[in-house]
Structure 1
Amino acid sequence: MPRILAPLLSAVTYARWLHLVIGCVFSGVVLMVYPGVSGPSLAELLVRAVPVDAVLLVAAALVPAMRRAEGVQARLLLVPDRERDIAAEPARTWADRRRTAVWLVGRVGLGTAVGTLSVLVPVAAVDLLTTRTPDLQGVRLPALEGPSWYPLLAPVLLFGLGWLIVWAGRLQLAMAVRLLGPSPAERLAAAELRAERLLERNLLARELHDSIGHALTVTVLQAGAAREVGDPAFVAKALEVIEETGRQAMDDLERTLALLRDTREDGPGAAGEAAAAGGDALGSPGSLGSGEAGSRGDARERPGIEQLPTLFDTARAAGSPVEAWIDVAPAKLPGVLSREGYRIVQEGVTNALKYAPGEPITVRIAVRDGRLELRCVNASRTGGGTAVRPSPRRGGKGLRGIRERAVLLGGEASAGVESGEWVLAVRVPLRLGA
Structure 2
Amino acid sequence: MPRILSPLFAAATYARWLHLLIGMVFAGVVLLVYPGTEGVGVLRAVVLGTAVDGVLLTLAALVPAMRRAEGVQARLLLMPVREEDIAAEPSRSWADRRRTALWLIGRVALGLAVGLATAQVLTVAVLLLTAPGRDRPPALYGHQLPAGAVGLYPLLAPVLMFGLGWLAVWAGRLQLAMAVRLLGPSPAERLAEAELRAERLLERNRLARELHDSIGHALTVTVLQAGAARAVDDPAFTATALEVIEETGRRAMDDLERTLVLLRESPGGPTTEQPGIDRLPGLFDTARAAGSPVEVWIELPEEQLPGVLSRESYRIVQEAVTNVLRHAPGEPVAVRIVARQGQLELRCVNALTGEGSRRGGGGKGLRGIRERAALLGGEATAGRQDGEWVLAVRLPLRLGA
TM range (shorter): 0.7 to 0.9
Letter in 2 for 1:381: G
> Counterpart of 1:291?
none
Identity score, percent:
67
Q: Distance in 1 between matches of 2:5 and 2:163?
A: 12
Instruction: Rate the CA distance shift 1:124–1:264 in 2: closer, same or farther, 3 A.
Output: same
Q: Is the 8 A contact 2:349 2:388 kept in 1?
A: no
Letter in 2 for 1:413: A
1:353 and 2:325 matched: yes
- Corresponding residue to 1:220 among 209, 220, 223: 223
Q: CA deviation at 1:34?
A: 3.3
1:207 and 2:210 matched: yes
Stretches of structure 2 lacking an aligned partner (at least 5 in a row): none
Aligned residues: 392
Q: Distance in 2 between matches of 1:28 and 1:10?
A: 28
Q: CA deviation at 1:376?
A: 4.1
Q: Is the 8 A contact 2:68 2:91 kept in 1?
A: yes
Instruction: Rate the CA distance shift 1:252–1:368 in 2: closer, same or farther, 3 A.
Output: same
Q: Is the 8 A contact 1:379 1:420 kept in 2?
A: yes
Pairwise CA RMSD of aligned residues? Answer: 4.5
> Counterpart of 1:54?
54
Q: Distance in 1 between matches of 2:87 and 2:310?
A: 46
Instruction: Rate the CA distance shift 1:194–1:388 in 2: closer, same or farther, 3 A.
Output: closer
More moved, 337-346 vs 38-47? 38-47
Q: Distance in 1 between matches of 2:348 and 2:318?
A: 12
Q: How does 1:348-427 map to 2 (within 5 A)?
A: 348-359=320-331, 361=333, 363=335, 372=345, 374-377=347-350, 379=352, 381=354, 387-389=357-359, 396=364, 398-415=365-382, 424-427=391-394
TM-score (structure 2 length as normaliser)? 0.75
Q: Is the 8 A contact 1:357 1:380 kept in 2?
A: no
Q: Distance in 1 between matches of 2:74 and 2:329?
A: 62
Q: How does 1:2-401 map to 2 (within 5 A)?
A: 2-37=2-37, 45-62=45-62, 66-89=66-89, 96-123=96-123, 137=141, 158-246=161-249, 248-249=251-252, 252=255, 264=267, 300=273, 302-304=275-277, 308=280, 310-322=282-294, 324=295, 326=297, 329-331=299-301, 335-336=305-306, 337=309, 339-359=311-331, 361=333, 363=335, 372=345, 374-377=347-350, 379=352, 381=354, 387-389=357-359, 396=364, 398-401=365-368
TM-score (structure 1 length as normaliser)? 0.71
Deviations along 1:371-419, one digit per CA (max 9) or x if unpaired, are 635244454636xxx85247776xx3x3332121110222333456678
Q: CA deviation at 1:228?
A: 3.0
Q: Is the 8 A contact 2:300 2:339 kept in 1?
A: no
What is the DSSP-based 3-state SS (H/G/I as helix, E as strand, rest coil) of the residue aligned with 1:344? helix
Q: Is the 8 A contact 2:86 2:179 kept in 1?
A: yes
> Counterpart of 1:272?
none
Instruction: Rate the CA distance shift 1:307–1:116 in 2: closer, same or farther, 3 A.
Output: closer
Instruction: Rate the CA distance shift 1:259–1:165 in 2: closer, same or farther, 3 A.
Output: closer
Q: CA deviation at 1:106?
A: 1.8
Q: Is the 8 A contact 1:333 1:430 kept in 2?
A: no
Q: CA deviation at 1:107?
A: 1.3
Q: Distance in 1 between matches of 2:74 and 2:265?
A: 36
Letter in 2 for 1:237: T
Q: Distance in 1 between matches of 2:125 and 2:258?
A: 74
Q: Distance in 2 between matches of 1:179 and 1:54?
A: 16
Q: CA deviation at 1:51?
A: 1.6
What is the DSSP-based 3-state SS (H/G/I as helix, E as strand, rest coil) of the residue aligned with 2:323? helix
